[in-house]
Amino acid sequence: MKGLLLKDIFTLEKQMRVLLIVIVGFALIPASNMISFTMMYALIIPISSFGYDERAKWDRLMRMMPIPEKSIILSKYVLGYGFVGMVSVIMLMAQFGYHVFGYQDLTLASYPAFLVNVIFMVLTALIAYAVLMPFIFKLGMEKGRLVFGAVFAVLISLTIPFSFIQIVSNGLFISPWFIWMLLLLAIVVNIGSIKLSQRFYSQNTNS
Amino acid sequence: MHAIELTNVSKQFKNFRIDNLHLTIPTGSIVGLVGENGAGKSTTLHMIMQAIKKDSGTIHVLGVNNETDGFLAVKQKVGVVLDEAYYPETLTAKRIRIMLKDIYDAWDDDVFDHYMEQFKLPYNQVFKDFSRGMKMKLQLAVALSHHAELLILDEATSGLDPMVREEILDIINEFTRDERHTVLLSSHIVSDLEKSCDYIAFLHEGRLKFMEEKDGLLERYRILKVAPEEINALTINQAAIKGQRTSRYAVELLVDKEALSSSDTVFGDLEKATLEDVMILMTKGVKQS
């Protein structure tokens, strides 16, 4: 799997540089809505790796190599998790930076709230990624991207009222039970997604 | 021992079928898989590597059934060169090496460097700027850099200039100096196969027409050219005629020399058939041109 991850990282290197600047820019804007934008944006990079693969018809060569199907699927998921994790770290560091440079008063009370907010967005992003992946493995990048657009639009439209309610209700959506439920949902959806992607990939081998 | 053994292998596609394919590739040999475009050559190679799943039959590669868990270890010993080099275009040879080191257990940097030098390939140039010849050479360098016992080449010489084709064929011949090494080479450039193969397997419309030792094959088949008006006066064992091509001025018959009887009368000279003659006449049957 390491070889496949390296391949994706090498392939995406140029794109990563540009997008990292954008992501850091997003992360530095102190608005909670930006977190969701940043997370979704972070997922575009691993998803675009499918585009590079399809353009090169990499799959034809990869299937000839001694790589288990499981590793082929998991490497794409791990790539996505890696990007979401990296963006989370950048955003948390940015918030810490605000505090250090005195732009934002980050108290012991406010930081955990922000942290939970990030966790909420991370879990939402992971669910979105998990929903999208089987579509890409089944339909390919082009049609899969249309599905991603739809998932993205739905999730963003959902997070806007959530953010509004969050401000009004002062932390309804960062209550521990909600986060735990979301975590459970993310795990279940991701496990299901991986199994489904494996099945779709295997079906493609038959045709 | 056989390097590859296909038994009763079938695969149905929408408009095409690989039908009950039996094919045995002896260890230590170079076998050319020949056939027209769409004959099923690439499909067969992909089924051997389990990149496409067959509908029925069994395939053994280096003694292991390709549907078992052990086949992944066998794939480590197979070097593959496909008709195109399907690496993402932003990769460089240097990065392909780093990546493949983690995929092939027996990856050998020294061997890779040796071929990179021999083929005069750049390490840091992105793949999209490689010429077709460079791409195929890089694929061959990769295929040879993990101590493969079996090389599978799918149309590896197509679209290359004669110099590069010669270079690639030389490397393939060099590879089989070790008697444990086997090459299965698909191509529709028949002259390449004639030059380097020990055996020829002829695939037509998803069926194996024959697999024979190349020298024996070329010895066995002859071309008989007669004028159209003489064809009816020809006394020849019909079973000896394996193919026919008719034009306004001449009829060409592909004749199996071994099936001729002493009573057969032959007008005109029996000429040696090339592999291309055998392929075309067997495939086309009776053709007006």
**CB-CB neighbors (< 8 A) of B87 in chain A:** 56, 58, 61
How near does any CA of chain A get to the CA of B12, in Å?
9
Same domain? B75 vs B140: yes
Same domain? B52 vs B190: yes
**pLDDT tens sequence across B22-58:** 999 999 999 999 888 888 899 999 999 999 999 999 9
How near does any CA of chain A get to the CA of B266, in Å?
50
* A86 confidence band (pLDDT: 50, 70, 90): confident
Which segment of A6-20, A40-54, A92-106, B167-181 scores lowest on mean pLDDT? Answer: A92-106
How near does any CA of chain A get to the CA of B140, in Å?
13
Residue B164: domain span: 2-205
Same domain? B177 vs B241: no
Is residue B16 included in any domain, yes or no? yes
Where on the phi/psi map is residue B285: left (φ > 0), alpha (ψ -120 to 50), or beta?
A: left
**Number of domains chain B contains:** 2
Contact state of A64 with B80 under an 8 Å Cβ cutoff: yes
Q: Where in chain A are the domains?
A: 2-206
A31-37: which pairs have CB atoms within 8 A and are 24 or more residues apart? A32/A117, A32/A163, A32/A166, A33/A159, A33/A160, A33/A163, A35/A91, A35/A117, A35/A118, A35/A121, A36/A121, A36/A124, A36/A155, A36/A156, A36/A159, A36/A163, A37/A156
- Quote the mean pLDDT of chain A: 79
Global pTM value: 0.83
Same domain? B61 vs B166: yes
**Which of B268, B240, B264 shows the shortest CA–CA distance to B254?**
B240
Same domain? B242 vs B124: no
Same domain? B28 vs B61: yes
Same domain? B160 vs B231: no
pLDDT at position A168, please? 44
**CB-CB neighbors (< 8 A) of B13 in chain A:** 207
Average pLDDT over residues A61-68: 93
Vertex B190 angle, CA B188 and B196, to 5° = 120
Tell which wins on pLDDT, A31 or B136: B136
CATH classification at residue B160: 3.40.50.300
Is residue B35 included in any domain, yes or no? yes
pLDDT at position A193, please? 94
**CB-CB neighbors (< 8 A) of B52 in chain A:** 205-207
**pLDDT tens sequence across A149-162:** 777 677 667 766 66
Interface test with B, best of A12, A64, A72 (most B CBs within 10 A): A64
Please report where in the chains the tokens 């990282």 appear, as a residue. Answer: A9
Same domain? B100 vs B167: yes
Q: What is the ipTM of this complex?
A: 0.84
**CB-CB neighbors (< 8 A) of A55 in chain B:** 88-89
- For chain A, say whether B49 makes contact (Cβ under 8 Å): yes
Same domain? B152 vs B250: no
Average pLDDT over residues A103-121: 66
Q: How far apart are the first and last CA of chain B?
A: 45
Which segment of A51-55, A182-186, A195-199, B240-244 scores lowest on mean pLDDT? Answer: B240-244
Those residues whose C-beta lies under 8 Å from the C-beta of residue B145, and which sit 6 or more positions away, are B100, B104, B107, B108, B109, B111, B112, B115
**CB-CB neighbors (< 8 A) of B85 in chain A:** 61
Q: What is the dihedral of CA B135, B139, B145, B149, to 10 degrees?
A: -150
**Which of B253, B240, B248, B260 shows the shortest CA–CA distance to B280?**
B253
Contact state of A66 with B98 under an 8 Å Cβ cutoff: no
Those residues whose C-beta lies under 8 Å from the C-beta of residue B132, and which sit 6 or more positions away, are B159, B160
Residue A107 has pLDDT above 70, yes or no: no
Contact B93, B122 (CB under 8 A): yes
Same domain? B8 vs B133: yes
Contact B248, B211 (CB under 8 A): no
β-strand B2-12 against B64-65: which pairing, if any? unpaired
DSSP, res B230 = G
Contact state of B72 with A65 under an 8 Å Cβ cutoff: no
How near does any CA of chain A get to the CA of B76, in Å?
6
pLDDT at position A94, please? 76
Q: Kindly provide the b/e burial profile for residues B169-189, where b requires at least 16 CB atoms within 10 angstroms of the residue's own CB.
A: bebbeebbeeeebbbbbbbbb
**Domain end call among B174, B205, B236:** B205
Average pLDDT over residues A99-112: 60
* B289 confidence band (pLDDT: 50, 70, 90): very low
Is residue B289 included in any domain, yes or no? no
Task: Give the chain A residue whose CA is nearest to the CA of B43.
Answer: A207
* A105 confidence band (pLDDT: 50, 70, 90): low
Going through B27-75 in order, the beta strands assigned E by DSSP cover 30-34, 56-61, 64-65
Contact B127, B100 (CB under 8 A): no
Task: Give the closest of B72, B87, B101 to A58, CB-based.
Answer: B87
**CB-CB neighbors (< 8 A) of A4 in chain B:** 99, 103
pLDDT at position A192, please? 95
Same domain? B127 vs B189: yes
Where on the phi/psi map is residue B108: left (φ > 0), alpha (ψ -120 to 50), or beta?
A: beta
Type of residue found at B164: V
Same domain? B173 vs B199: yes
